[in-house]
Amino acid sequence: MDKSIDIYLDENEMPDKWYNFMPFLPKELPAAKNHETGVCSDQSGLMQEIRPKELILQDHCKEKWIKIPDEVLEKLFQIGRPTPLRRAAALERYLGTPAHIYFKREDLLLTGSFKLSTAIPQLYYANNEGFKGVVSETGAGQWGMALALSSKFYGMECKVFMAKCSLEQKPYRKIYMDLLGAEVMPSPSSLTLVGRDILMENKDHTGTLGTAISDAVAYAKDNKGFAYLSGSNTTHVLIHQTLLGLETKKQMEKAGEKPDMLFACISGGSNLGGFMLPFIEERMNNEVLYIGAESEAAPRLTQGNYEYDYSDYKGYTPLVKSYTMGHSFIPDPVHAGGLRQHSGSPVAGLLRHEGLLDAKAYGEKDAFKAAKVFLETEGVLVAPETSHAVAAVIETALELKKKNKKKNLVMLCSGSGMLDLEGYKSVI
């Protein structure tokens, strides 16, 4: 009998509170600096104007638990939460490893990725505060799809600036957003002054998350009534995503095992943070290890500097301290568009700087080859971003095989690759 199992939670077992990890970090997070003055300030005046106030309050909450509104809980259940955890027994047999490998199935949510878990609460708060619409950036399109669906749930307008190269590589993600009435624009965009300035400097700019953030912030600044929302990096996003790790904790308890190593891909850091930070107290006691897998196209954690930088190309956002390649950095136009970010979450940066987060960088071809093995054994085609985490898991499982050591490896499958077939075809 196949040892592969899915470990489920029912509706009553779904967490009804978000976990606020901030009090449990090894050090206080370095304060953000005002984008105009360089003086330490929690938020720039611009962000105070264009971001829902409740999200800013969540960034500074001191309580361990934050109650999830009942309406948000209902919609989270509607879109597929809680998601199953699966034992990857077929992959274990293929590798001949003594390791037990588990993966968290965020690819099963309605839009095919974990992003809905923060899109829904952010739209809920924006709607409650009277905004007529929302605007944001997206790299590979996963966040854009989640934003488009959540906006439709709340009857709000939705504008999405998508990195130009990803928009060209992933036309089906745009079609999905179009079906939901979202307006999707390439970044750099001729619609905003900052986009036009970037195109004047480089008419062939492939676009990045940094340029898309600049476009989105500029749009919110110039169009009253539009809330600017973030899909990653910020503390409130990571707090919303702690549902991933909280569910995984319960599921591993049901399996009768404890994780020894947690794996996730990383760019801005929301999927990794949401998955791993509910285990921060275990990590501080050295009961579990964190491994982040990034793209060689944007190797912030393995080659970047730990310093203050803007999250966007233009410098609209507050200066935050994390690992960065520099806000003018233009990554190669790889198909893992969600990993093409010059910097990332200050929380992930702090974990890395304090030695609590290990990082590995993989080239696109090696990552996609690992994803192919995962597809052939487990039958699951992961998103290009997730393929980097798969590569790290396989590499670790083979190392454990050499040492004949049994450990529990738990990986976040952050998204589905079914809309990325052209990318896979072009690389392998």
Please tell me the predicted confidence (pLDDT) of residue 315: 86
Query: Is pLDDT above 60 for 409?
Result: yes
Q: Which of 201, 152, 214 is nearest to 181 (CA)?
A: 152
Query: Is pLDDT above 50 for 1?
Result: no
Lowest average pLDDT, out of 188-192, 314-318, 377-381, 386-390, goes to 314-318
Please tell me the predicted confidence (pLDDT) of residue 317: 86
Please tell me the predicted confidence (pLDDT) of residue 198: 93
Three-state secondary structure of the chain: CCCCCEECCCHHHCCCEEECCHHHCCCCCCCCECCCCCCECCCCHHHHHHCCHHHHHHHCCCCCEEECCHHHHHHHHHCCCCCCEEECHHHHHHHCCCCEEEEEEHHHCCCCECCHHHHHHHHHHHHHCCCCEEEEEECCCHHHHHHHHHHHHCCCEEEEEEEHHHHHHCHHHHHHHHHCCCEEEEECCCCCHHHHHHHHHCCCCCCCHHHHHHHHHHHHHHCCCEEECCCCCCHHHHHHCHHHHHHHHHHHHHHCCCCCEEEEECCCCHHHHHHHHHHHHHHHCCCCEEEEEEECCCCHHHHCEEEEECCCCCCCCCEEEEEECCCCCCCCCCCCHHHCCCECCHHHHHHHHCCCEEEEEECHHHHHHHHHHHHHHHCCCECHHHHHHHHHHHHHHHHHHHHCCCCEEEEEECEECCCCHHHHHHHC
Query: Is pLDDT above 90 for 189?
Result: yes
pLDDT one-digit tens code per residue, 382-406? 999 999 999 999 999 999 999 999 9
Segment 189-202 mean pLDDT: 94
Please tell me the predicted confidence (pLDDT) of residue 338: 87
Please tell me the predicted confidence (pLDDT) of residue 135: 98
- Sign for the pseudo-dihedral over CA of 164, 165, 170, 171: positive
- Sign for the pseudo-dihedral over CA of 122, 310, 203, 427: negative
The whole-angstrom separation of Cα 297 and Cα 333 is 8
> Tokens 């589905």 appear where?
416
Query: Is pLDDT above 60 for 413?
Result: yes
The whole-angstrom separation of Cα 181 and Cα 164 is 20
Considering the chain, what percentage of its residues have pLDDT values greater than 70? 97
pLDDT band at 408 (very low <50, low <70, confident <90, very high): very high
Please tell me the predicted confidence (pLDDT) of residue 314: 84
The whole-angstrom separation of Cα 274 and Cα 234 is 12
The whole-angstrom separation of Cα 326 and Cα 328 is 6
Q: Which of 134, 310, 125 is nearest to 228 (CA)?
A: 134
The whole-angstrom separation of Cα 190 and Cα 200 is 10
pLDDT one-digit tens code per residue, 72-119? 999 999 999 999 999 999 999 999 999 999 999 999 999 999 999 999
Give me the amino acid identity at 224. Answer: K
> Tokens 């404890």 appear where?
258
302: number of Cβ within 10 Å: 14
Query: What phi and psi values does residue 87 have, to the nearest 5 degrees?
Result: -80, 125
Strand partners, 67: 17
Query: Is pLDDT above 90 for 46?
Result: no
Q: Which of 144, 10, 30, 165 is nearest to 83 (CA)?
A: 10
Please tell me the predicted confidence (pLDDT) of residue 34: 74
To the nearest whole number, what is the mean pLDDT of the chain? 94
Which two three-digit tokens encode residue 208?
């990045």
Give me the amino acid identity at 191. Answer: L
124: number of Cβ within 10 Å: 20
Which two three-digit tokens encode residue 32?
């953000």
pLDDT band at 221 (very low <50, low <70, confident <90, very high): very high
